[in-house]
Structure 1
Amino acid sequence: MNASMLSYILFSCLLLSVQAQNCSVREIIRYTNRLLEERSLGCPCRETAGSSCSCLPIAEPGHELACFVEGTEHMLNNNLPSNATIALLNRTFQVQRDRNLCESLARGKQCQYKTKGDVKEFLNKILRTYQAINKRRS
């Protein structure tokens, strides 16, 4: 193995390590706050509703990423306002889950929850989760 190949491998490992620590915390907090500011996202949670107001999973600790993926996919499928922001969050959560980038959140690829909530409750769960990660880093 030559020196340039070794340098490339070390640099790649460094990038992966930084990426794993990053978790896109600040971006997720910013986008979630932006969504929470929109009044059009508030509607009651009805288990039997077939509309965009149907209930979203409120994740059990350690299963957040899988539930965030599931919930944002549901939001996208129901054409909620701010689809671009929701799509960005959904893709970020998928990458974090699939690549195990946020070790404190990833315990599996299936969403586990005991309760469901409306869109605002779901977004607040995302916000609280990533604020806690951000606080631990500070």
Structure 2
Amino acid sequence: MNASMLSYVLLSCVLLSVQAHNCQVSEIIRNTRNLLNKTQESWSCRETAATPCSCLPIPEPGHELACFVEGTKHMMEHNMTSNKKLFLLNQSFQIQLDRNLCESLTSGKKCKYKTKGTVRTFLEKILKTYQEIHKSRV
């Protein structure tokens, strides 16, 4: 193996290591706060045929990413908000889940929850989860 190839391999390992710990914490916190500021208080969680889209899964520990993917996808499908930030959140969660980028959140590939909540409650759960990750890194 020549020196340039070794340099390439070492750089690739470093980048993969950084990427593995990159949960896009700051970006997710910023986008979630933005959505929370725009969230309507009137959205409620009622499991009726008329408004099933307003109830989102509040994940159990270890199943956060799968539920965050499911919940943000559900919000987009039901036009709960037409916001680029929501699309970016969904995309970030899906990538993190597919690539196991957030080790503390990827133990469950399926959304497991006991309760559902309002859009605000769901977004607050996302914010709290990523704020805890941020605190553990500082």
**TM-score, normalised with respect to structure 2:** 0.93
Distance apart, 1:81 and its partner CA: 2.2
Distance apart, 1:5 and its partner CA: 1.7
**Alignment CA distance shift 1:92-1:39 (3 Å):** closer
**Alignment CA distance shift 1:106-1:39 (3 Å):** closer
Distance apart, 1:103 and its partner CA: 0.3
C-alpha distance in 1, partners of 2:49/2:58? Answer: 17
**Alignment CA distance shift 1:36-1:52 (3 Å):** farther
Identity of aligned residues (%): 65
Tell me whether 16-25 or 97-106 shows the greater mean CA deviation.
Answer: 16-25
How many residue pairs are counted as aligned between the two chains? 138
Which SS does the other structure have where 2:109 is aligned? coil
Residues 1-138 of structure 1: pairs in structure 2 closer than 5 A: 1-40=1-40, 42-51=42-51, 53-138=53-138
**TM-score, normalised with respect to structure 1:** 0.93
Which SS does the other structure have where 1:121 is aligned? helix
C-alpha distance in 1, partners of 2:82/2:42? Answer: 13
Answer whether contact 1:52 1:75 (CA < 8 A) is retained.
Answer: no
Which SS does the other structure have where 2:21 is aligned? helix
Letter in 2 for 1:5: M
Output the aligned Cα RMSD.
1.5
Answer whether contact 1:51 1:78 (CA < 8 A) is retained.
Answer: no
Distance apart, 1:22 and its partner CA: 2.1
C-alpha distance in 1, partners of 2:37/2:6? Answer: 48
Letter in 1 for 2:123: L
